Amino acid sequence: MAKGASLSGFPEWLPEERVVEQRAIDTLRRIFELNGFLGIETRAVEQGSSLLKKGETSKEIYLLSRLQEVGQENDTPVEDRLGLHFDLTVPLSRYVVEHSGDVVFPFKRWQIQKVWRGERPQEGRFREFIQADIDVVGNGDLPSHYEVELPLVMVSALEALREFGLPKATVHANNRKLSEGFYRGLGLTDVEGVLREIDKLDKIGADEVSKLLVSECGASEAQASACLELAGLSAATGEELGERFRELCARHGIEESSEAYQLANEGLATLAMIVDEAARIRPGAVVADLKIARGLDYYTGSVYETFLDGAASLGSICSGGRYDNLATQGKKKYPGVGLSIGLSRLVSYMLHTAGAKASRQSPAAVLVAVWNEDERSRANRIAAMLRSRGIATDVAPTAAKLGKQIKYADRLGIPYVWFPGQDGADDEVKNIVSGDQSKADAETWTPDERVALQTVEYGER
Amino acid sequence: MAKGASLSGFPEWLPEERVVEQRAIDTLRRIFELNGFLGIETRAVEQGSSLLKKGETSKEIYLLSRLQEVGQENDTPVEDRLGLHFDLTVPLSRYVVEHSGDVVFPFKRWQIQKVWRGERPQEGRFREFIQADIDVVGNGDLPSHYEVELPLVMVSALEALREFGLPKATVHANNRKLSEGFYRGLGLTDVEGVLREIDKLDKIGADEVSKLLVSECGASEAQASACLELAGLSAATGEELGERFRELCARHGIEESSEAYQLANEGLATLAMIVDEAARIRPGAVVADLKIARGLDYYTGSVYETFLDGAASLGSICSGGRYDNLATQGKKKYPGVGLSIGLSRLVSYMLHTAGAKASRQSPAAVLVAVWNEDERSRANRIAAMLRSRGIATDVAPTAAKLGKQIKYADRLGIPYVWFPGQDGADDEVKNIVSGDQSKADAETWTPDERVALQTVEYGER
């Protein structure tokens, strides 16, 4: 975080850092649009009643009150108050229902916005941060092929972010139905509880999770051990996944004719499809990982988490899943599947771990020098000419000594300084990095493209 | 506003409308960077104490409370609570003071973000809207040439927005010192009060303002009439402005040796400089308008409002001024000058008055058809190839009848439909607007650039 971040949990970047964030946003938008997603922006506020629907996260809501209402806030029930959105999925659900007559289904949308969570700030947790989401929402139904296509779009997006120092990303996929069917087949009934404990595997290890399954979820030692076996199952292909899963079920006495097995098998089919299709399109990008649980309770099928090579401590940087019951209107359902990148955390990684930085602070490629204040108007006209030709240009703040003007350019990283010709002489332009200086006409001069571009670089410097 | 905007004052656009807003933001950013401004983004929240400093606007603040704190909000004084920023100037002041050791002065920054105001929603007023700001902040002092350069940048920016249907914009400039000196020269002491009443001229007319000056500000009929004379003064050049102002002072007995005159004369010199330099760089873009007052009390010199030809009812769409005392740190001052575009209101105008609209809903140029679900993987590979070549591509949601797939493309405005070749035949691509169809290879085919581009158009259609 910028060293001056004066409010814990609310990151703020210096201008040369913001360039990295801005370029990352531009890159994500480009990839999302390349994949045919439509951009929307929703209001930052939602009704308390919408925000409270979404279970666990709800305690992190920031509620609003107008200054005039101070002292009377509690006359209004929380459900009727406004709060800041804590993700972009709840707003999407509302948006889709409101505009169901205006959008084309399946509705593929991207959205990059700030979200707010009033949680206690801790290492790597922000109270205000940018999320970058893609979702596809169907009207009534939604084909399962989107459950592999969306993680693949995110893989492309994260791949494009490697330009800013991000390591390779791998999506880990699982399926709620598979887990639920298996747990029920074992005779466990507290499915939510088991998922919640399994979700802790990476943090606390198998032994502790096993104890919790016994103490919190009413599992026997054998049942707990079977849950851990499922969580540890991996496979390179859909076929292999199927074989291993069937072997596991057989060994734990889950019969293929049972309802529980049927449910698990539905999830298995989708997960196998995901693994195989992803391998065809982008080998190694998506793996089956049966310990992925996802805390949020609105996922009903596929769930995803994404990890960066060598950055396990970041946790999942892009998560999501399929949700069939989030958006409803009377009897009508709008099932969706989506993933969300926690962008601020990634930008923090780019800046502070990968060492990403703008090649210079100022977007300007040229600084026009000013010999004396009476000639400022001429400098302004030169700058206007360069800008009209698409060359970003600044003008010296004061008619200080030339060395001081060059130092201003240098501090901002502006590579060219333009000297208006005096006493009828031609103008000249100097590349203050190389020292090259030559005559130049603002109507025709063109900078070296590599020098003129403000770029982002990363790594040791 | 999108017909479904479900919360009064919180605008939300349909995807094809959002394209217009997004392009307007892109355009402003491009112009700001072309002029050498550095982009920053500040957190959405500020301390209550910062927000309350800024006088009149403060009553429009939205305060935050965490859900867990409901019922205990008022244990914390408003000054120590967090609130949403209502403009981008207060955050900039804080940012500059916090990062004074890290940024290069004069600090030229652009910032495009949402702001929130809890005011009663009314025609054309939003509670959540996007502002687009540029400011230059000096360390200790700030040369006055920025007072003409910044409005000229905004003129360029607004000129670039004409692409989306905005009429020509004219900046009206005045100077607080000029007005204050003149009022004091007349013997009036309630300068703030007089400015406030003069600010109402366009709304309620000269007669009513005159009455208010007498009843509210202790002015005599003659003093009120002199104030109105000043407000009505106009001039094409700095020289003419000076002559008319001196004539007015002489007629009302304001002596050139008086302190009040000296103050007015300082303002006059800056305003004359602005008018003359603007005329040299961009004739007709900036005019002196001595009735411009600006409600906010932190302006200390130049003030600006901007009006669109034929859209007087919109009021000022880009306002600002010079503020010498907003950001301070001990004895240190960071004087600034800046202007702010109320972007959401402009986008609303573009959409609903100028008829601006995206040429199509989807960014995709191509839809790959799917003959049957078994061939989806092949369609995905074709799409991946096109995307890798920078061609935005979508894939048909289902292997429905071809007519239905083409209808999906048509509804989204996707101009090309790609037919994967069957039984070893070549792929073909059809422009569904012109009907042209030809053989195509995803590795080499290039769309007609004009057809492939998602653009914004405006006007009757």
Calculate what percentage of chain A has a pLDDT beyond 70: 96
Return the SS3 of B88: coil
> Hey, are the CB atoms on B128 and A392 less than 8 Å from each other?
no
Return the SS3 of B395: strand
Return the SS3 of A305: strand
CA distance B26 to B38: 14
Please tell me the distance in Å from A412's CA to the nearest CA on chain B: 7
The one-letter code for the residue type at B96 is: V
Residues A43 and B128 sit within 8 Å (Cβ to Cβ) = yes
Q: Taking residues A75-95, report their average pLDDT.
A: 93
* Residue A151 banded pLDDT, cuts 50, 70, 90: very high
Residue from A30, A281, A280, A38 nearest A163 by CA: A30
Return the SS3 of B457: strand
Residues A59 and B67 sit within 8 Å (Cβ to Cβ) = yes
Would the CA dihedral through A326, A327, A333, A334 be positive or negative? Answer: negative
Of A63, A98, A408, the CB nearest to B4: A98
Return the SS3 of B425: coil
Q: Taking residues A39-68, report their average pLDDT.
A: 85
* Residue B184 banded pLDDT, cuts 50, 70, 90: very high
pLDDT of the residue at A56: 53
Task: List the single range of A47-61, A236-250, A445-459, B191-205 with lowest mean pLDDT.
Answer: A47-61
CA distance A368 to A51: 53
Token match 């996929």: residue? A173
List chain B residues with CB under 8 Å of A408.
104
Which CATH architecture does the domain made up of A366-457 adopt?
Answer: 3-Layer(aba) Sandwich (3.40)
> Hey, are the CB atoms on B60 and A66 less than 8 Å from each other?
yes
**B172 Cβ partners below 8 Å, 6+ apart?**
B286, B287, B288, B289, B292, B304, B305, B306, B307
> DSSP states of B122-143 as a string?
-TT--SEEEEEEEEEE-SS---
Q: Classify domain B15-357 by CATH number.
A: 3.30.930.10
Of B118, B387, B390, the CB nearest to A67: B118
Query: pLDDT (tens digit, 9 = 90+) per residue, A412-456?
Result: 999 999 999 999 999 999 999 999 999 999 999 999 999 999 999
**A314 Cβ partners below 8 Å, 6+ apart?**
A124, A307, A308, A345, A349
List chain B residues with CB under 8 Å of A362.
36, 38
Residue A254 has pLDDT above 70, yes or no: yes
Arithmetic mean of pLDDT over chain A = 93
> Hey, are the CB atoms on A361 and B4 less than 8 Å from each other?
no
Residues A309 and A111 sit within 8 Å (Cβ to Cβ) = no
> Hey, are the CB atoms on B66 and A67 less than 8 Å from each other?
no
> Hey, are the CB atoms on B156 and A387 less than 8 Å from each other?
yes
Residue of A nearest to B47 (CA): A7
pLDDT of the residue at A313: 85
Q: In what order do the strands lie in the sheet with B393-395?
A: B393-395, B366-368, B416-419, B428-431, B437-439
> Hey, are the CB atoms on A66 and B71 less than 8 Å from each other?
no
Residue from A379, A455, A387 nearest A418 by CA: A379
Q: Taking residues A22-32, report their average pLDDT.
A: 98
List chain B residues with CB under 8 Å of A68.
59, 118
CA distance B27 to A199: 45
List chain A residues with CB under 8 Å of B280.
377, 380-381
Token match 């999942």: residue? A316
Residue A4 has pLDDT above 80, yes or no: no
pLDDT of the residue at B4: 43
CA distance A210 to A205: 9
Mutation to test the B interface, candidates A145, A370, A373, most B Cβ within 10 Å: A145
pLDDT of the residue at A59: 61
ipTM of this complex: 0.95
* Residue B2 banded pLDDT, cuts 50, 70, 90: very low
Please tell me the distance in Å from B221's CA to the nearest CA on chain A: 38
pLDDT of the residue at A119: 79
Is B294 assigned to a binding site? yes
Mutation to test the A interface, candidates B40, B110, B120, B273, most A Cβ within 10 Å: B40
Strand B318-329 vs strand B332-342: parallel, antiparallel, or unpaired? antiparallel
> Hey, are the CB atoms on B64 and A62 less than 8 Å from each other?
yes
pLDDT of the residue at A2: 44
How big is the A-B interface in CB pairs under 8 Å?
241
Residue B60 has pLDDT above 50, yes or no: yes
Q: Taking residues A367-390, report their average pLDDT.
A: 96
Q: Which of residues 398-417 of A touch B (CB under 8 A)?
A: 398, 408, 411-412, 414
CA distance A155 to A171: 7
Query: pLDDT (tens digit, 9 = 90+) per residue, B400-430?
Result: 999 999 999 999 999 999 999 999 999 999 9
> Hey, are the CB atoms on A2 and B71 less than 8 Å from each other?
no
Mutation to test the A interface, candidates B67, B72, B128, most A Cβ within 10 Å: B67
Strands (E), A93-188: 107-116, 128-137, 169-175
> Hey, are the CB atoms on A2 and B99 less than 8 Å from each other?
yes
Residue A118 has pLDDT above 90, yes or no: no
pLDDT of the residue at A76: 87
Task: List the single range of A264-268, A325-329, B97-101, B138-142 with lowest mean pLDDT.
Answer: A325-329
Is A88 assigned to a binding site? yes
Cis ω for the linkage preceding A91 (within 30 of 0): no
Residue from A328, A260, A290, A363 nearest A15 by CA: A363
Q: Taking residues A343-364, report their average pLDDT.
A: 96
Q: Which of residues 9-68 of B touch A (CB under 8 A)?
A: 10-15, 18-19, 21-22, 33-45, 47, 58-68
Please tell me the distance in Å from A66's CA to the nearest CA on chain B: 5
Query: pLDDT (tens digit, 9 = 90+) per residue, B99-149?
Result: 999 999 999 999 999 999 987 766 667 999 999 999 999 999 999 999 999
> Hey, are the CB atoms on A63 and B61 less than 8 Å from each other?
no
Arithmetic mean of pLDDT over chain B = 93
Cα separations in angstroms, B282 against A347, B68, B267: 40, 56, 22
Residues A2 and A119 sit within 8 Å (Cβ to Cβ) = no
pLDDT of the residue at B227: 97
Half-sphere exposure of B224 (CA within 13 A, CB side): 18
Q: Which of residues 88-147 of B touch A (CB under 8 A)?
A: 94-95, 98-99, 102-104, 106, 108-109, 114, 116, 118, 128, 143, 145
Residue from A390, A356, A359, A361 nearest A455 by CA: A359
For A158, list phi and psi in degrees, rounded to 5.
Answer: -70, -35
Residue from B300, B339, B336, B302 nearest B320 by CA: B339
Please tell me the distance in Å from B190's CA to the nearest CA on chain A: 28
Of B34, B58, B60, the CB nearest to A392: B34
> Hey, are the CB atoms on A392 and B13 less than 8 Å from each other?
no
Half-sphere exposure of A75 (CA within 13 A, CB side): 5
List chain B residues with CB under 8 Å of A65.
62-63, 65, 73
Chain B touched by A425 (CB under 8 Å):
no
Query: pLDDT (tens digit, 9 = 90+) per residue, B206-253?
Result: 999 999 999 999 999 999 999 999 999 988 899 999 999 999 999 999
Every domain of chain A with CATH number 3.30.930.10 lies at 169-308
Q: Taking residues A347-375, report their average pLDDT.
A: 96
Is A276 assigned to a binding site? no
pLDDT of the residue at B234: 86
For B393, list phi and psi in degrees, rounded to 5.
Answer: -140, 140
Is A328 assigned to a binding site? no
* Residue A53 banded pLDDT, cuts 50, 70, 90: confident
Is B405 assigned to a binding site? no
Residues B127 and A43 sit within 8 Å (Cβ to Cβ) = no
Q: Taking residues A274-283, report their average pLDDT.
A: 95
Q: Which of residues 153-192 of B touch A (CB under 8 A)?
A: 156
Q: What share of chain A is helix, strand, coil (3-state, %, to 5)?
A: 45, 20, 35
Every domain of chain B with CATH number 3.40.50.800 lies at 366-457
Residues A267 and A175 sit within 8 Å (Cβ to Cβ) = yes
Residue B355, sorted as left (phi over 0), alpha (psi -120 to 50) or beta, turns out to be: left
Measured in residues, chain A has a length of 461
DSSP code at position B264: H
pLDDT of the residue at B342: 96
pLDDT of the residue at A91: 95
Residues B181 and B311 sit within 8 Å (Cβ to Cβ) = no
Token match 């449910």: residue? A263
> Hey, are the CB atoms on A73 and B70 less than 8 Å from each other?
yes
Residue B153 has pLDDT above 70, yes or no: yes
pLDDT of the residue at A232: 95
Of B33, B45, B391, the CB nearest to A392: B33
Please tell me the distance in Å from A305's CA to the nearest CA on chain B: 23
For A417, list phi and psi in degrees, rounded to 5.
Answer: -115, 130
Residue from A362, A361, A360, A381 nearest A370 by CA: A381
Is A262 assigned to a binding site? no
List chain B residues with CB under 8 Å of A10.
43, 45
Residue of B nearest to A387 (CA): B34
**B104 Cβ partners below 8 Å, 6+ apart?**
A361, A408, A411, A412
List chain B residues with CB under 8 Å of A38.
15, 18, 361-363
Residues A113 and A42 sit within 8 Å (Cβ to Cβ) = yes
* Higher pLDDT pick, B302 / A76: B302
Cα angle A269, A275, A279 (rounded to 5 degrees) comes to 145
pLDDT of the residue at A3: 46
Class in CATH terms, A169-308: alpha beta
**B264 Cβ partners below 8 Å, 6+ apart?**
B177, B178, B179, B180, B181, B182, B185, B245, B249, B254
pLDDT of the residue at A123: 59
A113: its two tokens: 């916005």
Q: Which helix (H) or strand (E) holds A304?
A: strand A302-308
